[in-house]
Amino acid sequence: MKPRLHAGTVVAAYGRSYTVRLDDGATVPCYPRGKRSELACGDRVRVAMQAADQGVVESVDARSVLFYRSDAYRQKLIAANVTQVVIVLATEPSWYEELLNRCLVAAEAGGTRAVIVLNKCDRPGAEGARDALSAYERIGYPVVPLIAKQDVSPLLELLGGQMSVLVGQSGMGKSTIINAVCPEARAVTAEVSAALDSGRHTTTHARLYPLDAGGAIIDSPGMQEFGLHHVPRQEIDACFPEFRPLIGQCRFANCRHLGEPGCAITAAASDGTIAARRLAAYRAIVESLGKS
C-alpha cells in the first residue's frame, strides 16, 4: 500500500534536512528521498510520514521561480516560488555594488520583481548612499529608505501578499527587518565591526516566516558574492532593463557590447542615457563568465 502523502511547504533548510509546514498546520522535520538534496525554502512538497514527528519528502511540485546563485562547479539554492527579491543594503558596513547588480540580474533572469532597501538611514553616509541608488530608481527599481530598528512600515507596504526573499551581505540588517515584521521570529542579530567594515553571519540557514498581512518572507544567510553561471552569457544584456530598448540597434547583430564599433549601448553610456557604471557592471559580469 502506498503511503498517504501530505502537502506542505518547506519553511527551513539545513543542508540535507528540512522543516516542512504541512497544510493542516503541523510542522515536521523531514529528509529527502535518496542521496541528492535539491530543496529550497518555499518549495511545495509531498511528504510521507515515517513517524508521528518525522517525514520523508517524496516529491516536489513544479516551481514558478527558483532563485539561486551558481559558480562553475555548483549551485546554491536560496528560495523557491518567490514573487519578489528584496536586496538589503545599509549605510554601514559598506555595500558592494557588484553584489547588488548580480542580485538584480538573477532576479531579472528569473522573472522576479526586485526591491532595493537602504537600511540604517540614520547613520552618516545615508545621503551619499541614496544618491548612489538614484540611478536604480530611474531604471524602475523601488528603493526603500529604512531605519529598521525604528520603523519598517515603508517596507511592509511592499511585502503584503507577496512571497519575498531577503538577500544581501552580512551586517545589512536583514535579521533586524525579520524581527520587526515577524516579532515571533526572534532572529539573532549582531553588531557590525567598524574596524573591519563588515558584519558577522547570524543567519546560518534559510527560513520562511508567514506575514500577518498575507504572504511570507524568507530570510537567507548573508553573502559576499553571487555567481551567475546559470544565466546564459548571451542573455545578460536583457537582464539590464535600461539596455532592453537598445538591444538590436547595434551595427552588428552579434554585438556583445564589450567595445565593438557601432554599439548602441556603448553610445548610450557615452551620452549619459544609461549610467556608465551599469555598463561597466554588465561587462564585468559577462567577462567573468568566460566562454559560457
Segment 131-146, tens digit of pLDDT: 999 999 999 999 999 9
Q: How many residues does the structure list for the chain?
A: 292
Tell the burial category of 49 from Cβ atoms under 10 Å away from its Cβ (0-12, 13-18, 19+). middle
Q: Which residues contact 264 (CB under 8 A, 6 or more apart)?
A: 246, 249, 250, 255
Which residues is 20 bridged to in the sheet? 10, 28
Give the 3-state secondary structure of residue 177: helix
Helix axes 276-288, 97-109, angle to 10 degrees: 70
Looking at residue 183, its pLDDT comes to 76
Specify the DSSP class assigned to residue 156: H
For domain 5-60, give the CATH number: 2.40.50.140
Per-residue pLDDT tens for 156-206?
Answer: 989 999 999 999 998 899 989 999 998 777 655 444 333 333 444 455 689
Q: What is the pTM of this model?
A: 0.89
Looking at residue 198, its pLDDT comes to 43
For domain 66-219, give the CATH number: 3.40.50
| CA gap 186, 121 in Å, rounded | 23
Helix axes 126-139, 276-288, angle to 10 degrees: 80
| CA gap 31, 20 in Å, rounded | 10
In this structure, are residues 167 and 104 in contact, taking their beta carbons and an 8 Å threshold?
no
Domains of the chain: which residue ranges? 5-60, 66-219, 233-288
Question: If you classify domain 233-288 with CATH, what class do you get?
Answer: mainly alpha
